[in-house]
């Protein structure tokens, strides 16, 4: 993909000198650069309408504090960011890294563990990580140390058509804080009354099982990184629930992303479950205005089961090549400290914060007409504060691939325990290789 270089000019604002109280370092306790003299930081991120826009707005806000600050935003696809971390770390050319880069949450820990020389430890930087949802910050935490500033909110939500479930005599409250067994019973009532399944998902995927086990704080891997698929009762329960959802017709599998979006936009199903980034897609059909409501997701009937989970997301990393003082101060006063920034990002880019203080702002408290006057943004922020912490494991992608094969085979009649044993052996083989 051709890179787009976005250079933000310095605004002519009154100069305010700020002192850096950060005490964080790149391994030896020291930080490079300065705040007082301003300067330019370089950022890698990938979506012009989403995270590039967010960084652009953050720079404008920070320039009101530090007018000598400039930013250079380079559009860099995630695959390229991931590749260049490996390339530059392996070649010892860390000076080619930017000051700040956006890293997908599910790959954050893996990259820090593989290339610790790339990532600046932000634990003692002055950024208040307790103001973010604990589950979100845990995704960029390694050995109890913070390496990322959370960006977008990947909390999983359930959106339902209130008019459709109403035909079965049900309301959104009936689906709030329920178990999956309850949900299946209610979904069968809706299916019988309306002929519509409750949900759709892309065939051959493991997204549902993945967010189900996360909702109980359970991983496919043990704390020591070893795989845990064949002796994992929570994972087994999640797969059993998924199979029941499909077999009862409450959930239908469809071919591809477009069919998934079309299922709820074009009146095929009664709702959807996905990351909160799905809100923009839900609103594609103007005829649906006022007919949707959002609630939390069903929980597994297991120890530690909750009605809260996550699905996607990313966080900002500061590299060891950075003007660390300036990069940290910039993040502290924007993504980790500016209600104004999140008030801009919500309506303009659909970016929901994981920074909990943002939920108290007037913008986040506004009633959303498309969702029947519900304060959707504030509700989602509150959901995110309740997500259990979750360990991805450095072989997360391989685990998902193994689960996809297992789930497909189980739906076709294979034994669940045999398939989980095969998935376990596949991951063990991958780890040996």
pLDDT digits 0-9 by tens, 332-365: 999 999 999 999 998 888 788 889 998 888 898 8
CA distances, 282 to each of 46, 195, 276, 383 (Å): 23, 20, 10, 19
Structure letter (DSSP) for residue 355: B
**CATH code for position 282:** 3.40.190.10
Using alpha carbons, select from 152, 156, 143, 91 the residue that is nearest to residue 310: 156
Q: Are residues 189 and 251 in the same domain?
A: yes
* Domains of the chain: total: 2
Supply the pLDDT for residue 24.
36
**One domain, residues 179 and 292:** yes
* Cα–Cα dist 218/140, whole Å: 17
Minimum mean pLDDT among 25-29, 55-59, 181-185, 243-247: which range? Answer: 25-29
Whether residue 4 is predicted with pLDDT greater than 80 in this model: the reply is no
Shared domain for 192 and 300, answered yes or no, is yes
> Which one, of 363, 326, 347, 282, lies nearest residue 54 by Cα?
347
Taking a C-beta distance cutoff of 8 angstroms, is the pair 156, 274 a contact?
A: yes
Residue 433's pLDDT is: 66
d(CA 30, CA 49): 36
Question: Is 48 domain-assigned?
Answer: yes
Lowest mean pLDDT among 13-22, 153-162, 422-431: 13-22
For residue 428, the surrounding DSSP H or E stretch is helix 416-432
Average pLDDT on 142-167 reads 95
Tell me the mean pLDDT in the region 31-57.
Answer: 87
Q: Is 119 helix (H, G, I), strand (E, B) or coil?
A: strand
**Chain segment 385-401, per-residue pLDDT in tens:** 899 988 887 788 889 99
**CA–CA separation, 58 vs 51, rounded Å?**
10
Give yes or no for a contact between 14 and 119, defined as CB atoms under 8 angstroms apart.
no
Same domain, 201 and 272: yes
The alpha carbons of the chain give a radius of gyration, in whole angstroms, of: 22
- On whether residue 270 sits in a domain, the answer given is yes
With respect to residue 187, please indicate whether it lies within any of the assigned structural domains.
yes
Please indicate, yes or no, if residue 16 is contained in any of the structural domains.
no
Residue 141 burial (CB count, 10 A): 20
Whether 13 is covered by a domain: the verdict is: no
Contact between residue 70 and residue 126 where contact means Cβ atoms under 8 Å apart: no
Residues 45 and 173 in one domain: no
Residue 157: partners with Cβ closer than 8 Å, 6 or more residues away: 273, 274, 275, 276, 278, 279, 294, 295, 296, 297, 380, 383
417 assigned to some structural domain: yes
Say if residue 255's pLDDT is above 70: yes
Residue 118 has what pLDDT? 98
| Same structural domain, 55 and 183 | no
Whether residues 403 and 306 share a domain: the answer is: yes
- Statement to judge: residues 190 and 279 lie in one domain: yes
How far CA 385 is from CA of 131, 154, 396, in Å, comes to: 9, 12, 23
Cα dihedral across residues 35, 39, 43, 47: positive or negative: positive
- 33 assigned to some structural domain: no
Residues 164 and 135 in one domain: no
Do residues 160 and 278 both lie within one domain? yes
Which pLDDT score is estimated for 353?
84
pLDDT tops 90 at residue 15? no
- 102 pLDDT exceeds 80? yes
- For residue 417, the enclosing domain spans 156-311+389-431
Answer whether residue 2 is part of any domain: no
Q: Is the dihedral of CA 138, 139, 143, 149 positive or negative?
A: negative
**Could you tell me if residue 142 is left (phi over 0), alpha (psi between -120 and 50 degrees) or otherwise beta?**
beta
182 & 237 share domain: yes
Distance CA 371, CA 96 (A): 46
| 399 in Cβ contact with 227 (< 8 Å) | yes
Q: Is 312 left (phi over 0), alpha (psi -120 to 50) or beta?
A: left
Once rounded to an integer, what is the mean pLDDT over residues 307-328? 95
- From residue 239, give the alpha-carbon distance in Å to each of 68, 200, 344: 55, 16, 40
Is residue 162 located within the same domain as residue 276?
yes
Rounded CA-CA distance 266/128 in Å is 43
Question: Strand, helix or coil at 293?
Answer: strand
In this predicted structure, the answer to whether residue 261 has a pLDDT above a threshold of 70 is yes
User: With the C-alpha atoms ordered 396, 397, 398, 404, is the resulting torsion angle positive or negative?
Assistant: positive
What is the residue whose two structure tokens read 């979904």?
A: 187
The pTM of this model reads 0.78
């Amino acid at each position: 993909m051709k890179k787009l270089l976005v250079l933000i000019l310095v605004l002519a604002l009154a100069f305010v000198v700020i002192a850096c109280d950060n005490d964080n370092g790149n391994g030896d306790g020291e930080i490079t650069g300065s705040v007082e003299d301003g300067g330019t930081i370089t950022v890698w991120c990938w979506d012009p309408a989403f995270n590039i826009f967010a960084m652009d707005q953050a720079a404008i806000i920070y320039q009101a504090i530090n007018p000598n600050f400039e930013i250079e935003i380079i559009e860099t696809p995630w695959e390229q960011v991931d590749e260049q971390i490996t390339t530059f770390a392996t070649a010892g050319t860390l000076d080619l890294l930017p000051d700040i880069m956006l890293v997908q949450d599910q790959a954050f820990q893996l990259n820090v563990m593989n290339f610790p020389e790339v990532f600046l430890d932000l634990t003692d930087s002055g950024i208040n990580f307790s103001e973010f949802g604990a589950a979100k910050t845990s995704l960029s935490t390694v050995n109890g140390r913070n390496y990322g500033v959370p960006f977008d909110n990947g909390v999983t939500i359930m959106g339902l058509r209130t008019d459709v479930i109403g035909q079965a005599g049900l309301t959104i409250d009936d689906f709030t804080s329920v178990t999956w067994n309850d949900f299946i019973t209610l979904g069968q009532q809706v299916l019988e009354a309306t002929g519509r399944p409750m949900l759709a998902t892309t065939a051959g995927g493991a997204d549902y099982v993945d967010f189900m086990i996360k909702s109980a704080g359970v991983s496919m891997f043990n704390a020591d990184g070893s795989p845990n698929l064949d002796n994992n009762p929570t994972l087994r329960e999640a797969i059993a629930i998924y199979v029941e959802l499909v077999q009862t017709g409450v959930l239908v599998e469809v071919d591809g992303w477009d069919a998934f979006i079309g299922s709820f936009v074009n009146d095929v199903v009664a709702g959807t479950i996905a990351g909160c980034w799905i809100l923009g897609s839900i609103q594609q059909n103007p005829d649906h205005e006022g007919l949707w409501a959002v609630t939390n997701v069903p929980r597994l009937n297991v120890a530690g089961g909750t009605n809260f989970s996550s699905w996607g997301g990313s966080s900002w990393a500061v590299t060891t090549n950075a003007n660390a003082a300036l990069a940290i101060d910039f993040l502290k006063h924007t993504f980790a400290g500016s209600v104004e920034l999140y008030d801009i990002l919500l309506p303009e880019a659909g970016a929901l914060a994981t920074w909990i203080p943002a939920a108290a702002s007037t913008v986040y408290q506004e009633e959303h007409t498309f969702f029947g006057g519900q304060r959707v943004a504030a509700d989602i922020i509150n959901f995110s504060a309740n997500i259990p912490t979750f360990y991805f494991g450095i072989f997360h992608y391989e685990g998902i691939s193994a689960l996809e094969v297992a789930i497909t085979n189980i739906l076709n009649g294979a034994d669940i325990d045999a398939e989980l044993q095969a998935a376990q052996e596949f991951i063990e083989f991958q780890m040996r290789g």
